[in-house]
């Protein structure tokens, strides 16, 4: 279980990408004091945690109700995560997130920044939701579900820590450092995505004959 939890943390951390999210967050909160930024970051992280927690507990039931097997969802989710990894490696994801943020900001008030676009879709977007549903399939039972909630909480906590100090963090690593880290995390996510697809293929096509 420890290996699954570590993989889960790595997957969620890379998908949420707080390192790449920090400059976008600064762009969403120009001229605000550090205390105001921290309040927005805190509220956004709480909303994102709530959304991901709900999907981690109910997502499998939803796809089963729709008649989708976990194996098939692993294949689809793995391919989707691989596309996110591709965006990270080639620096396409930051551009897309910036466009999503600008679109959301044009449709919502400044007071709603924490919910939209910070929590949705920048943190609890389709990629993160798919990831927690996939992970919940590997962590059955009460203990597994509680462990997954803990992984989500730790990931969101790390995201809050980076966003709360976004201006200092941005100065510390710089644009070059952020680009290098993002590409390395993208490669890691690609490997995890391939593993999800591999597990899904085994479940769908290599099931033992009855």
End-to-end Cα separation, the chain, in angstroms: 29
Rounded CA gap, 190 and 207, in Å? 25
Rounded distance, CA 23 to CA 207, Å? 46
Judged against a pLDDT cut of 90, whether residue 206 lies above it is answered with no
What is the DSSP annotation of 18-79?
A: HHHHHHHHHHHSTT--HHHHHHHHHHHHHHHHHHHHHHHHHHHHHHHHTT--HHHHHHHHHH
Measured CA distances, 179 to 5, 66, 88, 139, 176 (Å): 26, 40, 9, 33, 5
Supply 164's token pair. Answer: 């709360």
pLDDT of residue 53: 97
Q: Has this prediction a pTM greater than 0.85?
A: yes
pLDDT over 90 (residue 116):
no
Q: What is the pLDDT of residues 6-60, one digit of tens each?
A: 999 999 999 999 999 999 999 888 888 889 999 999 999 999 999 999 999 999 9
Mean pLDDT of the chain: 89
Tell me which of 71-75, 100-104, 156-160, 198-202 is least confident.
100-104
- Considering only residues 104 and 36, tell me which one the structure prediction assigns the higher pLDDT: 36
> 25-34, pLDDT tens digit by residue?
998 888 888 8
Burial class (CB in 10 A: 0-12, 13-18, 19+), 20: buried
Q: What distances in angstroms separate CA 209 from CA 68, 201, 204, 205, one per listed residue?
A: 20, 15, 12, 11
Q: Which of residues 4 and 175 earns the better pLDDT score?
A: 4
- pLDDT grade for 109, boundaries at 50, 70 and 90: low
Task: Tell me the pLDDT band of 113, cut-offs 50, 70 and 90.
Answer: confident
């Amino acid at each position: 279980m420890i290996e699954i939890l570590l993989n889960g943390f790595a997957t969620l951390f890379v998908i949420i990408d707080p390192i790449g999210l920090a400059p976008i967050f600064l762009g969403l909160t120009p001229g605000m004091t550090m205390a105001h930024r921290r309040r927005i970051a805190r509220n956004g992280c709480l909303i994102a945690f709530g959304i991901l927690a709900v999907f981690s507990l109910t997502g499998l039931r939803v796809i089963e109700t729709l008649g989708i097997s976990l194996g098939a969802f692993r294949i689809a989710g793995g391919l989707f995560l691989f596309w996110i990894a591709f965006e990270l490696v080639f620096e396409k994801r930051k551009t897309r997130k910036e466009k999503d943020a600008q679109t959301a900001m044009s449709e919502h008030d400044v007071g709603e920044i924490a919910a939209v676009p910070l929590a949705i879709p920048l943190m609890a977007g389709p990629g993160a939701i798919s990831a927690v549903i996939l992970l919940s399939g590997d962590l059955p039972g009460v203990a597994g579900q509680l462990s997954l909630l803990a992984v989500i909480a730790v990931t969101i906590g790390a995201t809050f820590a980076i966003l709360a100090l976004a201006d200092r963090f941005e100065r510390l690593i710089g644009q070059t450092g952020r680009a290098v880290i993002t590409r390395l995390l993208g490669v890691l996510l690609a490997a995890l995505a391939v593993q999800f697809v591999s597990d899904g293929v085994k479940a769908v096509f290599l099931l033992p004959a009855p």
